[in-house]
Amino acid sequence: MKRKNILAISGSTRSHSTNESILKIIAELFRESLDVQFFSIAELPHFNPDLDKEEVPLSVKSFRELINHADGILICTPEYVFSLPGALKNAIEWTVSTTVFSDKPAALIVASSMGEKAMESLNLIMKTLGAKIDGNTLLISGARAKVNKQGEMETGALAEIKALMNSFERSLTTIDNTLPVK
């Protein structure tokens, strides 16, 4: 069976963040079936509709192409001040004028101290952009206590991650879901 190409996006720009650790754990656990590629949202300029014309910044074009060519998208983000981190919202805003998320399978993880508001916001935004979420969401409250500095995850949270990813794998289709990128 062909491995699925997954684009992993951490909502945190901090190096060695809990969210990055969770994405790395997933990449390792599912290495036989998923080819997980990471994208750093820190590379993207501030969203400016004036720049969202025919010649978008190279980093934005690359980001859009990665989304377009991925079989699925995996987002893992913290919650900042009861919302999404500004850098993640900025990255998503660069895709609004495109259709790169339309019918694209996605799994959403919010790993934070609380996280309910960020999950609500991320779910709404991704559905608005047309992503196929199919219930593939996971809220990991108290995340820092569940992932240690060695990148090992607490057993209960690990079981939840595995269940989410097994469901996400089932939702990935063999249909070519790439669309032209603006």
Q: Residue 53: what pLDDT?
A: 85
Q: What is the mean pLDDT of the chain?
A: 93
pLDDT in tens, 3-24: 999 999 999 999 889 999 999 9
Q: Residue 130 to residues 18, 55, 103: CA-CA distances in angstroms?
A: 27, 24, 6
| Residue at 78: amino acid letter | P
* CA dihedral of 120, 84, 79, 143, whole degrees rounded to 10: 80
Mean pLDDT to the nearest integer, 152-161: 94
Lowest mean pLDDT among 42-46, 146-150, 155-159: 146-150
Mean pLDDT to the nearest integer, 103-132: 97
Q: Residue 177: what pLDDT?
A: 47
Q: Over the Cα atoms of the chain, what is R_g?
A: 15
User: Would you say domain 4-171 falls under CATH 3.20.10.10?
Assistant: no
Task: Name 106's bridge partners.
Answer: 73
Q: Where are the domains of the chain?
A: 4-171
